[in-house]
A and B are shown apart, each in its own frame.
Chain A
């Protein structure tokens, strides 16, 4: 036969393999040493580099502590919500407390090139790919 029809079971198997791959990969897996899940983080790819964005409204920038080691990023801090006992409360939804979160990214980070920015309550971390992880083109002699 010159051609084959696409096998529906093959397609299902592909899907199964895809799902397994996401489950088995250690993308920001549960193996982090940090304790919490705050702040929620969105991760983006920008070329070779990574960008992590987290919403932490109303935090004092100086209390934010960011560490980068190999492929791990640790974000620590304390979110404070000023309260006054003299005022009567109608609604209290904002929460305060300490947080400590570690997550791993699937690449080596060039820790010297990491840039952090906190603006309008949003923390952005720019994580450049480590030089030794970059693909090298090899010339043929």
Chain B
């Protein structure tokens, strides 16, 4: 197999802890998380989600990202052959370091959401003195 050949990543459906009142499936989006000395960078693949339908919530240490797919594109289309399911995306992460909430920035580009979570100044360099 060609190692450079892209393989299909099967969509993972969310196993919800609580039930939802809204119809529709939820999937766990593929995510990259990187950390630099100053910030945590979260990149989430959410194809079909428009900028205005992305919801990012930070509650205590839990970051929740939700993206709702605009289904209007599928109106009037009759499916004849399908290889993947279309649904909304949601995923939560527990963050390890303190985040400066006021400086969180996010952007969506071609279905990829990038969130930059800057660490609180005190958290960036923490030196513990030994007495």
- Say how far B43's CB is from chain A's closest CB, in angstroms: 7
Chain A residue contacts of B31, Cβ below 8 A: 91, 93-94
Chain B residue contacts of A55, Cβ below 8 A: 47-48, 84, 111
- Say how far A83's CB is from chain B's closest CB, in angstroms: 8
Which one, A51, A57, A87, contacts B45 given CB within 8 A? A57
Give the CA-CA distance A83 to B77 in the complex, in Å.
38
A6: interface (CB < 8 Å): no
Q: Is the CB of B81 within 8 A of A42?
A: yes
B36: interface (CB < 8 Å): yes
What range describes how many residues of B lie at the interface?
35 or more
A33: interface (CB < 8 Å): no
Contact with A along B57-78 (1 / 0, CB 8 A): 0000000000000100110111
The interface of chain B, by Cβ under 8 A from chain A, is 2, 4-9, 30-36, 40-41, 43, 45-50, 70, 73-74, 76-84, 86, 108-112
* 23 pairs from A and B in contact (CB 8 Å cutoff): A36-B5, A38-B5, A38-B8, A42-B79, A42-B81, A43-B80, A44-B77, A44-B78, A45-B77, A46-B76, A55-B47, A57-B45, A58-B45, A89-B34, A90-B33, A91-B32, A93-B32, A94-B43, A98-B4, A99-B6, A121-B46, A122-B48, A122-B73
